[in-house]
Amino acid sequence: MKKILAVTACPTGVAHTYMAAESLAKLAKEKGIPLKVETRGAVGVENELTEQEIAEAHAIIVAADTDVLESRFAGKPVVKVPVAHAIKNPAGLLDEALNKEAAAVSNDLLKQVEANKAERSAARSGPYKHLMTGVSAMLPLVVAGGLLIAISFIFGIEAFKVEGTLAKALMDIGGGAAFALMVPILAGFIAFSIAEKPGMAPGLVGGMLASQIGAGFLGGIIAGFLAGYVAKFLKDLIKLPRNLEGLKPILLIPLLATGITGLLMIYVFGQPVKAIMDGLTTYLTSLGSANAVLLGLLLGAMMAFDMGGPVNKAAYTFAIGLLASGIYGPMAAVMAAGMTPPLGLWLATLIAKRKFTKEERDAGKAASVLGISFITEGAIPFAASDPFRVIPSIVAGSAVTGALSMLFGATLRAPHGGIFVLPIPNAVSNVGMYAVAIIAGTVVTALLLAILKRPAVEKTAA
C-alpha cells in the first residue's frame, strides 16, 4: 500500500487544525490507506513526521493556512490546499495524493550536496539545533539590512545623516529596522525551536531586552534559550481540561514565560553579558595586524574543517553576531574561507586531472558554482571519498584565505551571496585584495590536492 502523510494547520491552531486531521484520518481508516497526520496547533506540533517516514511516503498532503516547514518535503509529491479543504473534501485529497507521481531524483553533485545538507539538518539535536534555527531565521534580516546599508553609502559615507534623503531612508530600513530585529528574531526562533509556538513571545521579548540593554547577539542567545526552556517547563507543567487547552499558548504561557524571562534578563543576565560584549568589541576593534591574521587563520580553518557542520557554523555564527556591533572584518574572512574549499577542488580537477575520476572531474564543474555561491558543502562528496587528503588540503587553503582577508583589512556587510555581492558598492571593502585572498586560498588547496592525492582508478564496466 502507498503510504500517505499529512500536515494540518490553521492560523489560530485551535479548531480547524484538528478537524482537518480527524477528517483525513477517519476516511483513510475506512479505505484502508496507511496515513499519519501531523498537527501544528496552538499547543505545538503533535504526531510529528520523522525524516524516515517522509523518505518512505508516496506523497504528502499539506492542508494548512500557515507555514509548516514544507522544505522537509523537497523531492516528494505534495498536495497543497487550504485547511478547510481537508474538512470538506478529504476523499478528493486522498485520491489526488495516491495518484501523484514521485519526483525524479538526479545523482549529480548538486543533489548530493542537498542530500548532505538535509541529512545534517535532520541529525541536529539539542542546543545546536535550537541555535541554528535562530541563526537561520535571523540570516535574511542580516543580509537584507547589510546590503541596504551598503547601498546607502553609494551616496556618500555620511549622506544618511541628511534628513529626507534616499540615503537616510535606506539606512533607516537597513540599520534602524532590519538590524534592530536581528537579536529579537534570533532569540524568538531559538525559543520557538525549544518550546514551539508558546516560546515565541517570551523569546522575542527577551531578545528585544537583550538588544536594548546592549547585550548583543550573546544576550539574544541566552534570552532565547532561557525563554524556550521556561516556556517548555510551563507547557509541560500546566494541565487544563481539553476545552481550555487553547488558553495555555495564548494567555498563560506567554504571560508567565515573558514575565520570568524579562525579569531575569533585566536583573540577572543583562548587565554581565553586556560587559562581556563590550569587552569583546573593544578587543576586536583594537586588534593589531598579527592578532588579526591569527584570528582570520583560525576562522578560516574552522570554516573548512567540517564544511557546514558544527565547527563551521560556530565560526559563521560568531561572525554574524559581530555585524550588529559594527565589526565587519571577521565576516569577510569567514565568507571568503567558506568559498575556498569547493573552488580549490574545482581547480584541482583541472590541474591534476589524473588524480580524479571522470565523475569527479564533472562534479568539479558544479563545485565551482557552489564555491562562488558560498556553499561550502560542495566539498563534502570529495572529502567523503578521500578525507585524509582532502580535508587537510581544504583546511590549509581556507586558513590562508581567512588570514589574508584579515591582513588586508577587508570587511563585509552582507553575510552571504558569495561572489555575487562583490559588485555591490560598499558591500565589501578592499575588493581587489579580498579577491586575491580567495584566489590564494583556492590555489593552495588545489596544489596540495595535486601533491597529496593518489592517481584515480577509473571504474571499468563488468
Q: Decide if 347 is catalytic.
A: no
pLDDT of residue 103: 45
pLDDT of residue 105: 40
- Is residue 230 a contact partner of residue 269, using CB atoms and an 8 Å limit? no
Q: What are phi and psi of 365, to 5 degrees?
A: -65, -45
278 burial type by CB count under 10 A (0-12 exposed, 13-18 middle, 19+ buried): middle
Its CATH class, for the domain covering 4-98, is alpha beta
Q: How far apart are CA 362 and CA 404, in angstroms?
A: 30
pLDDT of residue 112: 57
From 397, 372, 411, 376, select the one nearest 449 (Cα to Cα): 397
pLDDT of residue 461: 42
Q: What pLDDT digit, counting tens, does each position of 268-315 carry?
A: 999 999 998 888 888 777 777 788 899 999 999 999 988 877 788 888
- Is residue 134 a contact partner of residue 189, using CB atoms and an 8 Å limit? yes
Choice among 4, 6, 7, 10 that is catalytic = 10
Query: First CA to last CA across the chain, in angstroms?
Result: 36
For 87, residues 6+ apart whose C-beta sits below 8 A from its C-beta are 16, 19, 20, 23
For 243, residues 6+ apart whose C-beta sits below 8 A from its C-beta are none
Q: What type of residue is 168?
A: K
pLDDT of residue 121: 55
Q: Which residues in the chain come in under a pLDDT of 50?
A: 102-107, 123, 460-462
> Cell match 560556530: residue?
314
**CATH 3.40.50.2300 residue ranges for the chain:** 4-98
Q: What is the largest CA-CA distance in the chain?
A: 75
